Amino acid sequence: MAYRILIVDDSKLARMAVAKAMNNLRPDWTRVEAGDAAEALALVRQQEIDVALLDFNMPGRDGLGLAGDLRALRPDMPLAVISANVQHEIVTRAQEIGAQFLPKPLTEQALAAFLQDAEQRIGAAGE
């Protein structure tokens, strides 16, 4: 089944790298991109988004703050926070929000595992 995935990163290059991996892993999924938290929240309020990948380090609101906002709007949405900053505190905060933590550089293998888990969660929620 095809889903809509929101990719949020202030780096266009990082969004392009995720898009390339998505084309290999889930070519039938629709990608929606945002450059910051405010844009991401506006998109989630305007359209149905099934899954979100959030960069941690962005200007303004960071990915953990955005994850909390998205969790409030869509409690069951699978979320992942992506960061090169693999500190225990950040990983723990992501888990407390109910988001997976994925280290940068994001590998296709890590993304594939997250997407498979997301599909299972969405499928279970729809049953």
Share above pLDDT 90 across residues of the chain, in percent, rounded to a whole number: 92
Rounded to whole angstroms, how far apart are CA atoms 56 and 68? 12
Query: Do the domain assignments include residue 85?
Result: yes
Query: Do the domain assignments include residue 87?
Result: yes
pLDDT at residue 127 is higher than 70 = no
Supply the pLDDT for residue 34: 98
Query: Do the domain assignments include residue 49?
Result: yes
Share above pLDDT 70 across residues of the chain, in percent, rounded to a whole number: 98
Instruction: Please tell me the pTM assigned to this model.
Output: 0.94
pLDDT at residue 126 is higher than 80 = no
Residue type, 127: E
pLDDT tens-digit map of 27-49: 999 999 999 999 999 999 999 99
pLDDT at residue 125 is higher than 80 = no
CATH of residue 27: 3.40.50.2300
Q: Under a CB-based contact definition with an 8 Å cutoff, are residues 3 and 47 in contact?
A: no
Q: Does residue 105 have a cis bond before it (omega within 30 degrees)? A: yes
Query: Do the domain assignments include residue 90?
Result: yes
Q: Which domain holds residue 87?
A: 4-122
77-104 mean pLDDT: 94
Domain count, the chain: 1
Query: Do the domain assignments include residue 127?
Result: no
Query: Do the domain assignments include residue 24?
Result: yes
Query: Do the domain assignments include residue 39?
Result: yes
Q: Under a CB-based contact definition with an 8 Å cutoff, are residues 5 and 52 in contact?
A: yes
Q: Under a CB-based contact definition with an 8 Å cutoff, are residues 5 and 49 in contact?
A: yes
43-70 mean pLDDT: 96
pLDDT at residue 68 is higher than 90 = yes
Confidence at 85, pLDDT banded by 50, 70, 90: confident
Q: What average pLDDT does the structure give for the chain? A: 95
Rounded to whole angstroms, how far apart are CA atoms 20 and 15? 9
Query: Do the domain assignments include residue 94?
Result: yes
